[in-house]
Structure 1
Amino acid sequence: MRKYALLILFIVCIYNSFGQEEIDTNNTSIKQTIEILNKNYKKVKISSFIKVKSQNTQSFALLWINELNANNESLQFITTPSDDYIKKDFWDEHTLEIDIKEGSSNLAFGVLVYGSGEFYIDNFTIKAQTTDGEWEEIKIENAYFDKEINDNKIPSWVEGISNRGYRSINYNLKSIDSELSNTDNKALLIENIEKEIDLYPDVVVNSKKINTNGESILIENINVIDVINGKIEIKDVLISNGEFLEISKNIKPKTEYKIIDGSNKWLSPGMVDGHIHLFQSGGLYTRPDVIDLTKFYSYNKERKWLKRNAADILKRYLRLGITTVIDVGGPMTNFEIRKKYSDSTSYPNLFVTGPLVSTYQPEAFKIDDAPIIKANTPEEAIKLVKKQLPFKPDFIKIWYINTSEEDAEMNYKIVEATINEAHKNKLKVAVHAQELETAKKALIAGADILVHSVEDKTLDSEFIKLVSSRNVIYMPTLIVSGNYIKSYGGNVNPSKEDFNLSNPIPLGSLYDIKRIELKSIFKSYKNLADESKESNDATEAIMDKNLRIAVENGFTITTSTDAGNMGTLHATSYYDEIQEMKEAGLSNLQILKASTINGAKVLDKEDILGSIEEGKMADAIILKSNPLEDLNALKDIEYVIKGGSVFPKDDIIKDTPEILVQRQVNGYNAGDIDAFLEPYSDDFEIYNYPNELSGKGKEESKQGYINLFKNNPNLHCEIVSRMVLGNKVIDHERITGVSLEPFETIAIYEIEKNKIIKVTFVRK
């Protein structure tokens, strides 16, 4: 780090020698100067929200303060310590504090950026501590960078460190929309002119809608489901400007309308998943605090995959008719994802919060941009809530876990302080509390949402009264704990929808327990899973019973999966959750209500979402059969309507060549012949390199693979490496479970018309 300190010293010396001219440097700075003479300041601190996007690990930003005397000579110059240089690709508040010396007249301060990339700056503040110990804010001009930037000149700011300033020809200064606010506020972007090439850009998913120019949609003669009372009426539905404009009989069509014949079809509101986590994939490596496999697959790699594939995950929810999702806690990058995918006509409505305010800190999450942060005191909890406020969270989440009786009293105070601070800022609070007594304490403290079932005891009269008196939301999340046991016990049993409609990468990772180097690790977990089955069955019985009690007592129940946790796949796990609710004793109407209007009530959005009513957002699904008679009708979608955009279900997300190939790998590892062959064309060809035909077509190949799967239950294909070139996917595969020793091969897959048409194997 010494080299960085010397670098900054060199930069300061160089800057002080330049006048207001163009210079060629690999760094630049912005600054303001204030007068502090006769102010009786003891200390001054500056702070700003900053993030850095760069492929170059040497790029960084820092805060600096230069204390000057009356002759404009530097008394002291301090910067962000080298160990804390700002390099992270997420918004965070950074602070720098200085003790004021005698003879001070002025303070210059600002932000310096070094290297290539993009540097984002917002919400710059400065405070001073007076001799009586009180802190007061010092007003500075254009602190939020809201004034228009012209010709690389920021109003009220100077580029440089010295009074003379300069113009760095390697950087552009731009005004951009603030990501810390949902208003029209601005932020500053300092952008290196030498554009970096992003070798791993975020996945882009282009959907195709029938009203490409925003035309109004008239659905004629469709069965409209009223999820509030369970009634169905045949009506016409006019959708315009993103909302249900008119719902009545015999609406007169106009030439500019797009017409859909709704005869013998059903219109149901878009569904809501009240509990997901976008910082988790549903795969084997997604919770290192539960099973630490980071030496086989780094958690940083898992996080990067999730960020890159956020669009893919959200579109898969939309494909299933889930038009609203609520992310119940994750890293601060949650807010960036919400902003990036905020188009309500193309993506599900996404409501988010930031890191869980927790009474327990997993060691694995003591990381930058952590999804879970422990508060040790009520004061720390309040600070964690305040840290999220500039990002406009939709609510606050608490992870309420008592690890010992000694901690229980302090933990309650932490929970109570968190809730009070959130409520003071008009934010609801969701609480993770799965034991009856802990859940009751959360309710007494003022919780608005319970994000899990009570799983240890039957709900009692005190709990029922606490929930009913304040209409607290109750989220059952019935399947998630059992999915953990199935996953690390090697007992995953994916549905047809899991194979075909979920992202296949997380699903594929669940079969990695068959990998040679992981078998010994999972042997003990498999034993634990076997031993836990009886107790888990008992827990599930309690949760089912408590769900019935909740319904009988008029609780607001919301369908919620906790998707992203190990084995609980994004989007497709919704089908498993509603089936479990059905088996617990709920009627189809109760489930449909929990999946629509009640989901909207979680964050008080029932006036704009959750039912098909005039004036509400046009989020809906057109079904081929009636879900009030058969819940499987929810899988039989013809169109998904999102904010007035109408998407044929198969035009929402298309399988890429890599996705197709991974799907057949998953079928192979599961020993599921239908899942394995589905991505192939009917007449696909198999070759031994270079051109020896060894098999052709599904019918000819099917029985051979059935025998292979039947005779080799431990069969596993590990993808050692993968290359994608256009319509070709080249996999280096390692096969185990067939012979005593593993063997390796290269498989070259060729894709046309969204099917695998040819595979060429290169063997030793």
Structure 2
Amino acid sequence: MKIVKRILKFVFALIGLLVLIGIITLWIDSSGTNYLKINKNESGSNNSYLIKNVNVIPMNQDTVLVDKMVYIKDGIIEKIADTIEVNGIEIFDAENKYLTPGLIDMHVHVWDRYELGLYLSNGVTAVRNLWGMPMHLRIKEDVVEENIFAPSFFTTGPKLTGSEFIGDDNLNLLNPSEAKDKVISYKERGYDFIKTYYGLDKEIFDAVIEQAKISELDIVAHPSQKVPFSYHLNTQIKSIEHTEEIVQQPLQFDLDTIKLQPIIDSISKSKHTRYCPTITVFHNIYQMMMNDSILNSEYLEYMNPLIKKTDSKKQFERWFNAKQKDPSIVERIKKQHDFHIAIVKKLHEAGVTIICGTDAGIGVTLPGFSIHKELAFYKEAGLSNYEVLKTATVNASQTHAMMNQLGTIEEGKIANLLLVDDSPLVDLSSLQTPTYVFVKGRKLNRENLDSFNEKSKNRKNLVATALRYLENLVIEK
């Protein structure tokens, strides 16, 4: 009996030690992103001032408002005019640069807070996270409370799938009753949207849609192969993700523009449906096959270390091995990517609203940096610079009611803004390194933004990320 008690005592002590080590590890990782904290008593936290000598690209119309003044009060755009007189306010000289709405990435997977700085550095001032976990609710709370410099943060709950197990990254639903309970739970806990995923059958999908409508939660759909593609045109579903899903499901990998047209027409007729292409993440398959050393490249030094060690490596090995077995697969992937560009072109021509999303945070698709590749692909698809910029501003902000205060430079809107040297209506590359980024009116200069990049480079938080993922498995499963 004494031996049993000693063993139990040892086990409890070991568990306690592991818990303590875990807490310390998470605390150290949290301390590593203290540079994002907002000290509201310091200079630089000011969110009220007057911008003068600025050319405004409002994005509610295709124009430039030349040499204006913009008054920002408590993080909100108060007034835009030729002349504004306000006493006792800081005056910021924009030196004839261009003011645009901040960019919005509508399809990301956030793994740590370092990534929040990477988004800001690249001009992304709002993100829609599509793989919700408990840690994202904590990030959202800190963003809402304005405790940290971060993009406006919106998140779905966990990815919902059917009863078939396709990975521990999904929440398996076994019946309609459970589906409804999960939707109710996610609403109560503070998730913003529902993410439906591969593997949902009609009965369970119907339950999710029904409860989402009752709970007033928008749905974001990664198409399920268990229902017809047209099923995702339901009015409760606000956006459909991934051009490759059109290729894989209704087209069955037949890259035929004639067969594509009826699909485009059906999406167009739904009127409310927005499409999020995420062309970049698929194109990165091609990049992996063309660059055998991509995992060791400087490019990936900004990726979360756990993702780099697991998902990035797994994806690279999959496509590297596929190329070794059949070299012709490289050309097949390139052809499919080109077909994705054609899909975007046809969607745009049919009047479908396109919203910009990258699928950043998985594979080798970097947070922040990848949005500029995505926008370039839309340009390649035939959109004008103004139409490209709409996908990551006004189009994105109009997808969900809770995002309507973003996306344009108008009186009453949140001051999530970029100040860039040249007009992106002429040169989209001007968005890549904004001179200033404004987050709810608080401005970050290029030095601040570059430091965010440096601090995230080769970060050592693999264990901390694993612990947060373990927390997700314990709570959500």
Fold agreement, TM-score > 0.5: yes
> Which residue in 2 is equivalent to 1:668?
none
| Alignment partner of 1:347 out of 143, 150, 154 | 150
Q: Is the 8 A contact 1:317 1:571 kept in 2?
A: yes
SS in 2 for 1:206: helix
The yes-or-no answer on 1:381 pairing with 2:160 is no
Q: Any unmatched runs of 5+ in structure 2? A: 252-256, 463-477
AA partner of residue 280 (structure 2) = I
For 2:384 and 2:355, how far apart are their aligned partners in 1? Answer: 14
> Which residue in 2 is equivalent to 1:414?
204
SS in 2 for 1:479: helix
For 1:248 and 1:523, how far apart are their aligned partners in 2? Answer: 56
- 1:242-253 to 2 correspondences below 5 Å: 242-252=75-85
> Which residue in 2 is equivalent to 1:224?
56
For 1:520 and 1:597, how far apart are their aligned partners in 2? Answer: 39
> Which residue in 1 is equivalent to 2:278?
477
The yes-or-no answer on 1:233 pairing with 2:233 is no
Question: Displacement, 1:337?
Answer: 2.8
Q: Any unmatched runs of 5+ in structure 1? A: 9-54, 61-86, 88-114, 119-194, 279-305, 366-370, 403-410, 664-718, 722-764
Question: Displacement, 1:260?
Answer: 2.1
Q: Max radius of gyration: which structure?
A: 1
Question: Displacement, 1:521?
Answer: 8.5
| Alignment partner of 1:392 out of 166, 174, 190 | 190
AA partner of residue 123 (structure 2) = G
AA partner of residue 348 (structure 1) = P
Question: Displacement, 1:261?
Answer: 1.9
For 2:198 and 2:311, how far apart are their aligned partners in 1? Answer: 32
For 1:269 and 1:549, how far apart are their aligned partners in 2? Answer: 27
The one-character-per-residue Cα deviations of 1:324-360 (angstroms, maximum 9, x if unpaired) are 0000123343223322443447211110112111136
Question: Displacement, 1:491?
Answer: 4.4
TM-score, normalised on structure 2?
Answer: 0.79
CA RMSD of aligned residues (A): 4.0
The yes-or-no answer on 1:464 pairing with 2:271 is no
> Which residue in 2 is equivalent to 1:328?
130
The one-character-per-residue Cα deviations of 1:13-40 (angstroms, maximum 9, x if unpaired) are xxxxxxxxxxxxxxxxxxxxxxxxxxxx
The one-character-per-residue Cα deviations of 1:161-189 (angstroms, maximum 9, x if unpaired) are xxxxxxxxxxxxxxxxxxxxxxxxxxxxx
Q: Give the length in aligned residue pairs.
A: 438
The one-character-per-residue Cα deviations of 1:479-504 (angstroms, maximum 9, x if unpaired) are 2123235336744769x99478x458
- 1:37-436 to 2 correspondences below 5 Å: 58=15, 200-202=28-30, 203-207=32-36, 211-212=43-44, 214=46, 216-234=48-66, 235-252=68-85, 254=87, 256-278=88-110, 306=111, 310-344=112-146, 346-359=149-162, 361-362=164-165, 364-365=167-168, 371-401=169-199, 411-433=201-223
SS in 2 for 1:329: coil
Q: Is the 8 A contact 2:308 2:363 kept in 1?
A: no
Q: Give the structure with the higher percent helix.
A: 2
AA partner of residue 588 (structure 1) = N
Q: Relative to structure 1, is the Cα distance of residues 588 and 498 closer, same or farther in structure 2, using a 3 angstrom cutoff? A: farther
Identity across aligned pairs (percent)? Answer: 24
Q: Give the structure with the higher percent strand.
A: 1
| Alignment partner of 2:247 out of 455, 474, 484 | 455
Question: Displacement, 1:443?
Answer: 1.7
Question: Displacement, 1:593?
Answer: 0.6
Q: Relative to structure 1, is the Cα distance of residues 468 and 241 closer, same or farther in structure 2, using a 3 angstrom cutoff? A: farther
The one-character-per-residue Cα deviations of 1:519-573 (angstroms, maximum 9, x if unpaired) are 9988624426844323222322332222112212222211100111101111111
Question: Displacement, 1:429?
Answer: 0.6
TM-score, normalised on structure 1?
Answer: 0.51
For 2:452 and 2:149, how far apart are their aligned partners in 1? Answer: 18
AA partner of residue 268 (structure 1) = T
For 2:367 and 2:56, how far apart are their aligned partners in 1? Answer: 28
For 1:651 and 1:342, how far apart are their aligned partners in 2? Answer: 21
- Higher-RCO chain (CA-CA 8 Å, sequence separation at least 6): 2
The yes-or-no answer on 1:567 pairing with 2:370 is no
Q: Relative to structure 1, is the Cα distance of residues 426 and 531 closer, same or farther in structure 2, using a 3 angstrom cutoff? A: same
Q: Is the 8 A contact 2:154 2:192 kept in 1?
A: yes
Question: Displacement, 1:392?
Answer: 2.1
For 1:623 and 1:583, how far apart are their aligned partners in 2? Answer: 22
SS in 2 for 1:534: helix
> Which residue in 2 is equivalent to 1:696?
none
> Which residue in 2 is equivalent to 1:686?
none
AA partner of residue 447 (structure 1) = I
